[in-house]
């Protein structure tokens, strides 16, 4: 008897406090771990820590069994929380243990310095599709902010400067963006979901533990 195919979880990723909103819609398999979800978010958004530890990250989500919030991430990201939080290794727990249509939201923080906060909302649970390739990005709006630009407020200031050719920092900021590989002129409104390539979702051996560890 053939194994049952996993369902598909459809998520909307929204970068909080951005106006207009920067968001992505992705689909992943329900047997994905939170590590897999982290990597999918990184690729879909356009951040730089999908294949390394450029910046730390963590999920914060209600545990449906304890009804308390858990911190889900990598050991390096966990420092000290009060007794209201438990730390869960993201490589060892699957998203289906937490996510359901009655427990839909998690907060995903990326880069504890810039403090990029994302809402990760489960929109739908879809039936499995034969020969489907996941994860996939099916929609989204606006470009990802550059790394290390100072968080939401820093990004707003950057947009103001690059939009004003007469600003004293305009040329310097444009050179910095070009060095990072962005187009000139910088196009913050442009995003094409077809441009998203999901690679290295397994990430064996990352942060000192292997992909073949048991997941719950």
136-165: buried (b, 16+ CB within 10 Å) or exposed (e) per residue?
bbeebbbbbbbbebebbeebbebeebbeee
Token pair of 118, please? 């994302």
Same-domain status, 159 and 132? no
Same-domain status, 115 and 138? yes
Same-domain status, 164 and 179? yes
Same-domain status, 72 and 45? yes
* β-sheet bridge partners, residue 29: 8
Tens of pLDDT, residues 165-208: 999 999 999 999 998 888 778 899 999 999 999 875 443 333 33
Same-domain status, 106 and 183? no
Position 4 scores a pLDDT of 78
Same-domain status, 37 and 83? yes
Position 79 scores a pLDDT of 58
Same-domain status, 164 and 202? no
Q: Which is higher by pLDDT, 79 or 38?
A: 38
Nearby residues of 53 by Cβ (< 8 Å), 6 or more positions away: 74, 76, 206, 207
Report pTM. 0.88
Q: Is residue 2 part of a domain?
A: no
Same-domain status, 102 and 184? no
Position 15 scores a pLDDT of 99
Mean pLDDT of 101-125: 97
Please give the residue range of the domain that contains residue 176.
Answer: 145-188
Q: What whole-number distance in Å separates Cα of residue 126 and Cα of residue 129?
A: 9
Same-domain status, 45 and 91? yes
Least confident piece of the model among 20-29, 137-146, 163-172, 176-185: 176-185
pLDDT band at 108 (very low <50, low <70, confident <90, very high): very high
For the chain, give the percent of residues with pLDDT over 70: 85
Same-domain status, 36 and 102? yes
Q: Is residue 79 part of a domain?
A: yes
């Amino acid at each position: 008897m053939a194994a049952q195919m996993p369902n598909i979880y459809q998520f909307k990723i929204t970068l909080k406090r951005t106006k207009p909103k920067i968001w992505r819609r992705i689909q992943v398999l329900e047997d994905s771990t939170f590590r897999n979800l982290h990597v999918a978010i990184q690729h879909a958004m356009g951040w730089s820590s999908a294949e390394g530890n450029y910046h730390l990250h963590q999920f914060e989500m209600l545990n449906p069994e304890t009804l308390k919030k858990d911190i889900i991430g990598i050991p390096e990201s966990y420092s000290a929380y009060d007794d209201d939080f438990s730390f869960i290794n993201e490589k060892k727990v699957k998203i289906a243990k937490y996510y359901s249509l009655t427990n839909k939201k998690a907060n995903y923080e990326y880069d504890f310095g810039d403090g990029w906060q994302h809402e990760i909302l489960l929109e739908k649970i879809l039936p499995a599709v034969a020969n489907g390739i996941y994860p996939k990005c099916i929609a989204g709006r606006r470009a990802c902010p550059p790394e290390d630009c100072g968080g939401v407020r820093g990004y707003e200031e950057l947009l103001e400067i690059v939009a004003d050719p007469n600003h004293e920092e305009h040329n310097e900021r444009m050179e910095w963006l070009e060095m990072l590989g962005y187009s000139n002129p910088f196009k913050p409104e442009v995003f094409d979901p077809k441009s998203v390539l999901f690679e290295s979702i397994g990430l064996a051996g990352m942060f000192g533990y292997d992909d073949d560890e048991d997941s719950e």
